[in-house]
Amino acid sequence: MNILQNESIPRCSDKKKHGISPSVLLCIFLILLILSFFAALCFGSVQTSPGEVFSALLSGDFENPALRILLHLRLPRALGGMLSGMALAASGVLIQAVLHNPMAAPNVIGVNSGAGLGAVLMLAVFPAAVRFLPLAAFFGAVAACLCIYAISLKTGADRMTVTLVGIAVSSILNAGINTVKTLYPDSVYDADAFMIGGLSGVTFSRILLPSVLIFLGLLSSVLLARDVDVLALGDDTAKSLGMNVKGMQLLLLCLASVLAGSAVSFSGLLGFVGLVVPHIARRLVGQSHRWLIPISALGGGILVLICDLFSRILFAPYELPVGILLSFVGGPFFVFLILVGRKRYD
């Protein structure tokens, strides 16, 4: 029987949180994402008013300094920030659902580091094959995902143990990245920014293929939301409802790897987006992945855009890599989750 057509399947609640329906929240998050994106175009070390932005876009004068700043610097950077945030947040939702672990996230369990190691290895061995960087990052992310998944199946470890194993695997993978950087110092352009996570070097050519992969990954995740809900009920329940649990888990991990690997390929090892945003979204809309996935994706885009904006204007004309601000936000949040990590989802 087709899981999607089984009307007897228990549904995750779409209950309202704080008196606001999920559909209204989705519209609010979409508006906030648009405003954040427009703010990213207007503000930076060189201030540009909204009127100047519109005038530059409508003028079509490619010699206009404002238009050149928009097209060559701010627009690709804003697109990169939005795409990476959406991808990492959605990846976090999927990983948490597969591992049944609220503290799992692409950066916490080593998925980001696996993608980073795949990327730097490819650049070291095939420095001219930059266009294949997203694919190398994807395979690195898949390897890290499968490693953690195999450990969790083999040991039956609890959530805290899986998280600690993931942190250990992440440390090993980061050591591998640093080894490649040491042996091939010219393989990764601006390697420090890559390790921290940053968007300063993003161009349209670098985000072209990743943007397609991220779009397909997000679309597939939303289409599979009902199956993710069934999986979240527990492996035994999902099996009793006719689901191929292992196959679905593998598919979702591959989707999470596509999303995280694509983001890492141009934004570096951004941390905590896939941890912080899904928890906030879950507080707002509950457990239904029909709402949780799209709202988390929008929230991830908003978070990265806002953090990147502040990284440019707080110490202008100098700027911080956006990964630093995300660590300031996500680090304390992760400590909080460790302290209450044995509690179940709401």
Task: Write down the pLDDT at residue 110.
Answer: 84
Task: Write down the pLDDT at residue 205.
Answer: 85
Q: 48-339 domain in CATH 3.40.30.10?
A: no
Phi and psi, residue 20, nearest 5°: -115, 130
Q: What does the DSSP assignment read for 206-253?
A: HHHHHHHHHHHHHHHHHHTHHHHHHHHT-HHHHHHTT--HHHHHHHHH
Task: Write down the pLDDT at residue 327.
Answer: 87
Q: Which residues lie below 8 Å from residue 318, measured CB to CB, with a gap of 6+?
A: none
Q: How many CA atoms lie within 13 A of 189 on its CB side?
A: 13
Task: Write down the pLDDT at residue 300.
Answer: 95
- The one-letter amino acid code at 171 reads S
**Cβ-count burial of 173 within 10 angstroms (0-12 exposed, 13-18 middle, 19+ buried)?**
buried
Task: Write down the pLDDT at residue 188.
Answer: 65
Q: Average pLDDT per run of 10 along the chain, which is 346 residues long?
A: 40 55 92 93 72 66 68 87 95 89 81 87 80 84 84 68 79 89 73 77 87 94 92 84 86 89 88 89 89 95 93 81 86 74 48
Task: Write down the pLDDT at residue 6.
Answer: 41
Task: Write down the pLDDT at residue 302.
Answer: 96
